[in-house]
Amino acid sequence: VKPIKDLSQASQKIAQGDFNRQVQAPNIRELSTLAHSFTQMSQELQQSRQKLEDYSQSLEQTVSNRTQSLEQEIQRRAAAEIALQSANQELQQLAYLDGLTQIANRRQFDECMAQEWRRLKRDHLPLSLILCDVDYFKQYNDAYGHQAGDDCLRRVATAIAATARRSPDLAARYGGEEFAMLLPNTSLEGALEVARQIQIHI
Protein backbone atom coordinates (compact mmCIF):
# COMPACT_ATOMS: atom_id res chain seq x y z
CA VAL A 1 0.00 0.00 0.00
CA LYS A 2 2.87 2.40 0.83
CA PRO A 3 4.16 2.60 -2.77
CA ILE A 4 0.65 3.43 -3.94
CA LYS A 5 0.36 6.19 -1.30
CA ASP A 6 3.76 7.55 -2.36
CA LEU A 7 2.63 7.62 -5.99
CA SER A 8 -0.62 9.34 -4.99
CA GLN A 9 1.24 12.00 -2.99
CA ALA A 10 3.70 12.50 -5.83
CA SER A 11 0.88 12.97 -8.35
CA GLN A 12 -0.75 15.52 -6.04
CA LYS A 13 2.52 17.46 -5.75
CA ILE A 14 2.84 17.43 -9.53
CA ALA A 15 -0.75 18.64 -9.83
CA GLN A 16 0.17 21.49 -7.45
CA GLY A 17 3.10 22.51 -9.68
CA ASP A 18 5.98 20.81 -7.90
CA PHE A 19 7.65 19.39 -11.00
CA ASN A 20 11.04 18.88 -9.35
CA ARG A 21 9.83 16.01 -7.22
CA GLN A 22 11.28 12.70 -8.30
CA VAL A 23 8.87 9.77 -7.91
CA GLN A 24 10.65 6.87 -6.28
CA ALA A 25 10.20 3.68 -8.25
CA PRO A 26 8.92 0.85 -6.04
CA ASN A 27 10.03 -2.77 -6.49
CA ILE A 28 6.65 -3.71 -7.93
CA ARG A 29 7.06 -3.75 -11.73
CA GLU A 30 3.68 -2.22 -12.57
CA LEU A 31 4.07 0.51 -9.97
CA SER A 32 7.65 1.13 -11.10
CA THR A 33 6.41 1.70 -14.66
CA LEU A 34 3.75 4.06 -13.34
CA ALA A 35 6.31 5.94 -11.22
CA HIS A 36 8.56 6.32 -14.27
CA SER A 37 5.59 7.69 -16.23
CA PHE A 38 4.88 10.21 -13.44
CA THR A 39 8.52 11.31 -13.46
CA GLN A 40 8.55 11.67 -17.25
CA MET A 41 5.25 13.55 -17.16
CA SER A 42 6.63 15.87 -14.46
CA GLN A 43 9.70 16.63 -16.55
CA GLU A 44 7.64 17.31 -19.67
CA LEU A 45 5.31 19.58 -17.69
CA GLN A 46 8.29 21.44 -16.28
CA GLN A 47 9.73 21.92 -19.77
CA SER A 48 6.36 23.08 -21.05
CA ARG A 49 6.02 25.55 -18.19
CA GLN A 50 9.52 26.91 -18.86
CA LYS A 51 8.68 27.31 -22.54
CA LEU A 52 5.46 29.13 -21.63
CA GLU A 53 7.34 31.43 -19.25
CA ASP A 54 9.97 32.15 -21.89
CA TYR A 55 7.28 32.81 -24.47
CA SER A 56 5.37 35.00 -22.01
CA GLN A 57 8.48 37.06 -21.30
CA SER A 58 9.22 37.33 -25.00
CA LEU A 59 5.63 38.35 -25.68
CA GLU A 60 5.71 40.94 -22.89
CA GLN A 61 8.94 42.37 -24.30
CA THR A 62 7.43 42.47 -27.78
CA VAL A 63 4.31 44.19 -26.47
CA SER A 64 6.45 46.65 -24.48
CA ASN A 65 8.58 47.45 -27.52
CA ARG A 66 5.50 47.83 -29.69
CA THR A 67 3.80 50.02 -27.09
CA GLN A 68 6.88 52.22 -26.85
CA SER A 69 7.04 52.44 -30.63
CA LEU A 70 3.36 53.38 -30.81
CA GLU A 71 3.80 56.03 -28.11
CA GLN A 72 6.72 57.51 -30.04
CA GLU A 73 4.63 57.47 -33.21
CA ILE A 74 1.76 59.19 -31.40
CA GLN A 75 4.12 61.85 -30.07
CA ARG A 76 5.63 62.31 -33.53
CA ARG A 77 2.21 62.68 -35.11
CA ALA A 78 1.07 65.08 -32.38
CA ALA A 79 4.15 67.22 -32.97
CA ALA A 80 3.55 67.09 -36.72
CA GLU A 81 -0.09 68.11 -36.21
CA ILE A 82 0.94 71.06 -34.03
CA ALA A 83 3.49 72.11 -36.65
CA LEU A 84 0.85 71.77 -39.37
CA GLN A 85 -1.65 73.89 -37.41
CA SER A 86 1.03 76.52 -36.85
CA ALA A 87 1.90 76.50 -40.55
CA ASN A 88 -1.78 76.79 -41.49
CA GLN A 89 -2.22 79.74 -39.13
CA GLU A 90 0.83 81.40 -40.62
CA LEU A 91 -0.46 80.79 -44.14
CA GLN A 92 -3.84 82.20 -43.17
CA GLN A 93 -2.18 85.30 -41.79
CA LEU A 94 -0.16 85.67 -44.97
CA ALA A 95 -3.34 85.27 -47.00
CA TYR A 96 -5.33 87.88 -45.06
CA LEU A 97 -2.70 90.41 -43.93
CA ASP A 98 -1.04 93.11 -45.97
CA GLY A 99 2.66 92.33 -46.02
CA LEU A 100 3.79 95.95 -45.74
CA THR A 101 1.41 97.42 -43.18
CA GLN A 102 0.43 94.24 -41.27
CA ILE A 103 -3.25 95.20 -41.28
CA ALA A 104 -6.02 93.42 -43.18
CA ASN A 105 -5.55 93.18 -46.94
CA ARG A 106 -8.11 93.58 -49.71
CA ARG A 107 -9.11 89.91 -49.62
CA GLN A 108 -9.93 89.99 -45.91
CA PHE A 109 -11.75 93.28 -46.34
CA ASP A 110 -13.91 91.93 -49.17
CA GLU A 111 -14.84 88.79 -47.20
CA CYS A 112 -15.66 90.73 -44.03
CA MET A 113 -17.62 93.29 -45.99
CA ALA A 114 -19.79 90.61 -47.62
CA GLN A 115 -20.29 88.78 -44.33
CA GLU A 116 -21.20 91.90 -42.34
CA TRP A 117 -23.46 93.15 -45.12
CA ARG A 118 -25.52 89.96 -45.02
CA ARG A 119 -25.61 89.85 -41.23
CA LEU A 120 -26.55 93.49 -40.67
CA LYS A 121 -29.06 93.46 -43.52
CA ARG A 122 -30.77 90.52 -41.86
CA ASP A 123 -30.74 92.23 -38.45
CA HIS A 124 -31.63 95.68 -39.90
CA LEU A 125 -28.57 97.32 -38.35
CA PRO A 126 -26.35 100.06 -39.83
CA LEU A 127 -23.00 99.45 -41.51
CA SER A 128 -20.52 102.29 -41.99
CA LEU A 129 -17.51 102.37 -44.27
CA ILE A 130 -14.68 104.91 -44.32
CA LEU A 131 -12.50 105.08 -47.44
CA CYS A 132 -9.43 107.30 -47.42
CA ASP A 133 -6.16 107.71 -49.27
CA VAL A 134 -2.88 109.58 -48.78
CA ASP A 135 -2.87 112.87 -50.69
CA TYR A 136 0.13 113.54 -52.93
CA PHE A 137 1.63 110.16 -52.03
CA LYS A 138 3.20 109.66 -55.48
CA GLN A 139 5.02 112.99 -55.26
CA TYR A 140 6.19 112.16 -51.72
CA ASN A 141 7.34 108.70 -52.79
CA ASP A 142 9.19 110.07 -55.83
CA ALA A 143 10.82 112.83 -53.80
CA TYR A 144 11.96 110.80 -50.76
CA GLY A 145 12.21 107.27 -52.16
CA HIS A 146 10.31 104.05 -51.80
CA GLN A 147 11.61 103.33 -48.31
CA ALA A 148 10.22 106.63 -47.03
CA GLY A 149 6.99 105.92 -48.92
CA ASP A 150 6.67 102.49 -47.29
CA ASP A 151 7.31 104.03 -43.88
CA CYS A 152 4.59 106.59 -44.58
CA LEU A 153 2.08 103.86 -45.44
CA ARG A 154 2.97 101.93 -42.29
CA ARG A 155 2.44 105.03 -40.13
CA VAL A 156 -0.94 105.72 -41.74
CA ALA A 157 -1.98 102.08 -41.30
CA THR A 158 -0.97 102.17 -37.61
CA ALA A 159 -2.97 105.36 -37.07
CA ILE A 160 -6.06 103.92 -38.74
CA ALA A 161 -5.78 100.57 -36.93
CA ALA A 162 -5.50 102.41 -33.58
CA THR A 163 -9.05 103.68 -34.00
CA ALA A 164 -10.47 100.17 -34.51
CA ARG A 165 -11.32 99.68 -30.84
CA ARG A 166 -14.14 97.15 -31.19
CA SER A 167 -13.51 93.59 -32.27
CA PRO A 168 -15.88 93.78 -35.31
CA ASP A 169 -14.14 96.95 -36.62
CA LEU A 170 -11.70 96.26 -39.43
CA ALA A 171 -8.87 98.46 -40.68
CA ALA A 172 -7.60 97.37 -44.08
CA ARG A 173 -5.26 98.44 -46.84
CA TYR A 174 -7.57 98.67 -49.80
CA GLY A 175 -4.79 99.02 -52.34
CA GLY A 176 -1.76 101.25 -52.95
CA GLU A 177 -2.14 104.30 -50.69
CA GLU A 178 -5.87 103.66 -50.17
CA PHE A 179 -7.22 102.46 -46.83
CA ALA A 180 -10.62 101.39 -45.55
CA MET A 181 -12.30 101.12 -42.18
CA LEU A 182 -15.28 98.80 -41.83
CA LEU A 183 -17.56 99.71 -38.91
CA PRO A 184 -20.42 97.22 -38.35
CA ASN A 185 -23.42 98.41 -36.38
CA THR A 186 -22.17 102.00 -36.50
CA SER A 187 -24.28 105.03 -37.32
CA LEU A 188 -23.23 107.96 -39.48
CA GLU A 189 -22.43 110.02 -36.39
CA GLY A 190 -20.26 107.21 -35.04
CA ALA A 191 -18.43 106.87 -38.33
CA LEU A 192 -17.73 110.63 -38.44
CA GLU A 193 -16.27 110.44 -34.94
CA VAL A 194 -14.00 107.57 -36.01
CA ALA A 195 -12.89 109.60 -39.03
CA ARG A 196 -12.01 112.51 -36.75
CA GLN A 197 -10.00 110.14 -34.53
CA ILE A 198 -8.09 108.90 -37.59
CA GLN A 199 -7.22 112.51 -38.48
CA ILE A 200 -6.01 113.11 -34.93
CA HIS A 201 -3.79 110.02 -34.89
CA ILE A 202 -2.31 110.83 -38.28
Catalytic residue, candidates 53, 73, 111, 177: 177
SS3 176: coil
Least Cα distance to 183 among 136, 127, 143 occurs for 127
Q: In what order do the strands lie in the sheet with 127-133?
A: 127-133, 178-184, 170-175
Task: Mark whether 60 is an active-site residue.
Answer: no
- Where is 124: in which H helix or E strand? none
Q: What angle do CA 161, 162, 168 make, to 5 degrees?
A: 60
Q: How far apart are CA 127 and CA 117, in angstroms?
A: 7
- CA 147 vs. chain centroid, Å, equals 40
Give the whole-angstrom CA distance, residue 158 versus residue 74: 44
Active site residues: 177
